[in-house]
Amino acid sequence: MSTNSFPKLHNATWPGVVGKGPDSEPLIPIDTMLELTAAAEVDGVKFDGVDVGLFDPSIDINDPKEGAKKLADKVAAHGLVIGSLVAPIWGGPVLGSKEDRAVFVDMVRKACQYGQYLKEIGIRPYGVIRIDSASSPETWSKDPAGSTKLIAETFREACDVAAEYGEKLAAEGEICWGGMHSWKTMIDTLAAVDRPNMGFQADMSHTLLYMLGYNSPEDRILPADFDWSDRAALEEGLKKMTAALRPWTIDFHVAQNDGTVHGTGSHDKTGRHCLATDPNGKLDIAKDAGYWLRDENGELTKAFKHICWDGCMFPNEVMYKQQTWNDILAALIKVRDQHGWSE
């Protein structure tokens, strides 16, 4: 049995919200997500914490001090800690108006304030603030150079705000976000921002679609007629992509994907998150996580203190089953067994 104590193992609370709502199934309250997370156990190992989207109906980002205290009390009652936070920036699309961009930066500020209070309370020992461009690839493509410049300017402003709170911002690469919809455009955007507290949040499901060139066929790494049984070619593709993005990576989501896109409710189509046990999953979760967690020489990067499972848009029937979360925890434990360390 592994004795690795890092990276810490987290579950996400936002799958109870993302893709849910009026156009889909009912939201799953954060209290329920915390209960399911805390109840998961595999051979005596439990989740260490949760990453939190600051948009659950029970979370009021406009009341960061009291809100942080309430959230910290809830999480602590389950013996968990908090890691990365998701800033609710979608009301301020970067490729919208000047006023939209002001809303974006203000939401980052509020998320950083919230995060700072959680740190002061002692419930948040590590983690970043997750953002995206809140704009579509279609909008970006109308003026690629101008769009990238505008995103970079706005992200720089947000980084300067985050720096006031000692926070790092991580842009999650998803095919549904303009300027972040391919591995090459993601790198262009990060390089244009050029701030020490700006990085990349890698999600194993979303980045698999980078390799397939969804929303950016010219940037695909795997051939159009790719045969999924060709594991060697898949690994070469993973090596190429992770070599390019790993130096930017400051936050990491363990996930599975069946090679297709999916969206529910108001959420645009992105990588289909599959269950850890899905027979159609294209990734060897534990092995393929190593391409992100180890450098080209096979050495651990130790670039972040925790890893988080992200699985959005599962049916509520699946999410309410305790076995779902036990299986997910088991997958995370395998990742830590193979690529973890002790301090």
d(CA 215, CA 58): 34
d(CA 247, CA 245): 6
Residue 103 belongs to a domain: yes
In the prediction, which pLDDT does 261 show? 67
In this structure, is the dihedral angle defined by the CA atoms of residues 131, 163, 179 and 224, taken in order, positive or negative? Answer: negative
Residue-wise pLDDT tens digits, 251-297: 999 999 998 864 444 444 565 678 999 999 999 999 999 999 999 99
In the prediction, which pLDDT does 273 show? 76
**Residue partners of 233: CB distance under 8 A and separation at least 6:** 222, 226, 227
In this structure, is the dihedral angle defined by the CA atoms of residues 222, 276, 336 and 306, taken in order, positive or negative? Answer: positive
Residue 2 belongs to a domain: no
Are the CB atoms for 180 and 132 separated by under 8 Å? Answer: yes
In this structure, is the dihedral angle defined by the CA atoms of residues 118, 119, 125 and 126, taken in order, positive or negative? Answer: positive
In the prediction, which pLDDT does 271 show? 56
- Read off the tokens for 240: 């190429």
Residue 1 belongs to a domain: no
Residue 201 belongs to a domain: yes
Residue 3 belongs to a domain: no
Are the CB atoms for 21 and 56 separated by under 8 Å? Answer: no
Are the CB atoms for 131 and 193 separated by under 8 Å? Answer: no
Residue 306 belongs to a domain: yes
Residue-wise pLDDT tens digits, 180-195: 999 999 999 999 999 9
d(CA 194, CA 152): 8
Which run of H or E residues covers position 270? strand 270-274
d(CA 170, CA 34): 24
Burial-class residue 296 by CB neighbours within 10 Å (0-12, 13-18, 19+).
exposed
Residue numbers of the domain that contains 276: 8-339
Residue 105 belongs to a domain: yes
For residue 3, the one-letter residue type is T
Residue-wise pLDDT tens digits, 59-89: 999 999 999 999 999 999 999 999 999 999 9
Residue 224 belongs to a domain: yes
d(CA 31, CA 5): 26
In the prediction, which pLDDT does 145 show? 98
d(CA 228, CA 70): 47
In the prediction, which pLDDT does 259 show? 86
- Read off the tokens for 279: 């027979």
Are the CB atoms for 88 and 107 separated by under 8 Å? Answer: yes
In DSSP notation, 282-326 reads -S-HHHHHHHHHB-TTS-B----SEEEE---S--HHHHT-HHHHH
DSSP state of 45: B
pLDDT tens string, the chain, 343 residues long: the values are 678 999 999 999 998 888 788 888 999 999 999 999 999 999 999 999 999 999 878 899 999 999 999 999 999 999 999 999 999 999 999 999 999 999 999 999 999 999 999 999 999 999 999 999 999 999 999 999 999 999 999 999 999 999 999 999 999 999 989 999 999 999 999 999 999 999 999 999 999 999 999 889 999 999 989 999 999 999 999 999 999 999 999 999 999 999 886 444 444 456 567 899 999 999 999 999 999 999 999 999 999 999 999 987 889 999 999 999 999 999 999 999 999 999 8
- Looking up tokens 């709502």, which residue turns up? 21
Burial-class residue 29 by CB neighbours within 10 Å (0-12, 13-18, 19+).
middle
CATH number of 23's domain: 3.20.20.150
Total number of domains in the chain: 1
